[in-house]
Amino acid sequence: MTRRPVLLNLLAWLFLAAACGPGLPAASNPSGAESPAIDAVPDRTLVVAVRNEPSTIAAVAPAGGGAASAFNVRPFNAYLELIDERGQPRPYLAEGLPELNTESWQVFPDGRMETRYQLKSNLSWHDGAPLDAADFVFAWRVYSVPELGVASTLPVSLMEGLSAPDSRSLVIRWRRLYPNAGVLPIGPVQPGLPALPRHLLEARFNEAQWDAFANHPFWTREFVGLGPYRLEQWEPGSYLEGVAFSGHVLGRPRIGRYRVQFIGDSNTALANLRAGAVQMAADNALGFQQWNELKREWAPGNAGNMLRSAGSWRAIWPQFRAEYANPSSILDLRVRKALAHSTDRQGINETIWDGEGVMLDSGIAVPGADSFPVIDGAVIKYPYDLPSAERLMNEASYLKGSDGLLVHPTLGRFVGELKSTSGGDAETERSVLANGWRRAGFEMQEAPVSATESRDPQARSIFQTMFVSTANLFEINLIISFTTQQIARPETRWLGDNRGGWSNVAFDRLADAFNETLEANERMQQRIRMARILSEELPAIPLYLSFSPIPFISALRGPVQVSLATTGGVSWNLYEWEMR
């Protein structure tokens, strides 16, 4: 017998097997059209380099153990809603999202509210167990335990109770009016109300041994979620890896495996990216200068793409606590305005961001937000203007001496301290700021914060003059960070986002009202008034949006630039990405 018929029969059998085998579910792209997958390689592994290993990959974890990265959290989790690259919410596990003044979102005469969700059918956890609406009710019970560290966060703190009338129906009762009740996430790693698997955790939760519950391996190597990838392996200090989940609500991901590689050294991350060992770098695995270097290197051959993710809002926080303020004249508004006028934002932009930074003037307006043009036009601006700075200091009884430094007749020379964290671009930033103020006549001493101090909330709060720090970018968090309630004090164990201790009754009232106002036009007026107060009083001098560079090779298709103001993240549509 010749070999040719055998070979032909074998080829025919292989063709028939391929034609009859299970197909890859089509996933829609943002435009709604199917993406061509002819050249896609579904069994490839996407390797993403990140700087720090997460403490958990759970979207919300007890005892403050949440991860700081959407690239660690997003692959393994799914939520009621999904925020796209334009900042628009889409139903995800839910069939639809609550709409005000409908049966899905009702407001009662006593000021309480109720929102309703209907889950999509046939949803399952990574271990195959069916998702039940009661899993959301159980999650709320967990998140509401004060000892587990989540109960005081939004939106959990405003939820009065949850119920599941049947396996697909979820009802949330709210203590008071809350305008964001229809879209629960308030940031890429603050996803609102993620479900938790009762079948795995309820028995341990009922024991009420909170330390043991918080340290359960479920939150790390035994995590079971609902996202596009199922955790398969976690090698501490090295990487974690997931495999595509066929039961994902929006279809099996087009890339078979997803690996997060922990690379703490940016030069090593860059070398791995160049060598092809990783296909994407995120979460500050690379510095901005390296990002620019790689951009120039890749440009001639279109070897890769460059994205930026706005991670935080960076500002200078003056000290408002009289017992710590030194010199005491930092409490004088004229002095703060003079410092604002002599803040060299352009120097920072050119030195750190190569002229591509997004510099800020307002305390709560973020470029890209719908409200930005209106708010930006209403706030007081402090452009770099040394004559205006000197005039303001003269009004505060400071005059320049023969050496060009500012001197007060009773307080003496203005000698300030500028503190900020060490490492990365912080040294350069601190130097640019201090030099700009010296040109204006301020004697400024640079004070780097050690790694130990940066983890000590008291050390971060009792600085003398000014502290350069970041704040949560997203509107509701940013507003709250200026309230009196958020001032760090001994009785709060120095926890609080109001770095400088500024307090303003009018602002507090507006913030409280804003968090309970449902009418859109009224909320806009509240935003404007709050932004105006911040620009008048200068509890913080805004600098810029802090970016995380995200380069990736051209063979990876699907990641897109997200809006600066969105609560979503670059990895929002991870299930649609392809490797070619």
Any domain includes 145: no
pLDDT, residue 18, reads 34
Helix, strand, coil shares of the chain as percentages rounded to 5? 35, 20, 45
Read off the amino acid at residue 545: L
Residue 193 near residue 156 (C-beta atoms within 8 A) = yes
Any domain includes 479: yes
Any domain includes 538: yes
Q: What element of type H or E holds 314?
A: strand 304-318
Any domain includes 336: yes
Query: Measured on CA atoms in the order 187, 188, 189, 191, is the torsion positive or negative?
Result: positive
Beta strands in 94-189 (DSSP E): 105-107, 113-118, 159-166, 169-174
pLDDT, residue 188, reads 57
Any domain includes 300: no
For 364, the 3-state DSSP assignment is coil
Total number of domains constituting the chain: 1
pLDDT, residue 86, reads 85
At 413-425, the pLDDT tens digits run 999 999 997 666 7
pLDDT, residue 419, reads 94
The first and second tokens of residue 69, run together, are 């990265």
Q: How far apart are the first and last CA of the chain?
A: 42
Any domain includes 151: no
pLDDT, residue 7, reads 34
Whole-structure pTM value: 0.81
What span, in angstroms and rounded, lies between the C-alpha atoms of 245 and 231?
A: 9
Residue 231 near residue 244 (C-beta atoms within 8 A) = no
Any domain includes 32: no
For 76, the 3-state DSSP assignment is helix
Cis status, amide bond into 25, omega within 30 of 0: no
Residue 267 near residue 287 (C-beta atoms within 8 A) = no
pLDDT, residue 422, reads 67
Read off the amino acid at residue 250: L
DSSP code of 315?
Answer: E
- CA 132-148-151 angle, to 5 degrees, is 75
Which residue segment(s) compose the domain that 333 sits in? 311-546
CATH number for 540: 3.10.105.10
Any domain includes 236: no
pLDDT in tens, the chain (580 residues): 343 333 333 333 333 333 333 333 333 333 333 333 334 567 899 999 998 898 899 998 886 544 457 899 999 999 999 999 888 899 999 999 999 999 999 999 999 999 999 999 999 999 999 999 999 999 999 999 988 888 888 899 899 999 999 999 999 999 999 999 999 987 655 778 999 999 999 999 999 999 999 999 999 999 999 999 999 999 999 999 999 999 999 999 999 999 999 999 999 999 999 999 999 999 889 888 888 889 999 999 999 999 988 778 899 999 999 999 999 999 999 999 999 999 999 999 999 888 888 898 877 777 877 888 999 999 999 999 999 999 999 999 999 999 999 999 999 999 999 999 766 678 889 999 999 999 999 999 999 988 778 778 888 888 999 999 888 777 888 898 999 988 988 887 787 889 899 999 999 999 999 999 999 999 999 999 999 999 999 999 999 988 888 999 999 999 999 887 665 689 999 999 999 8
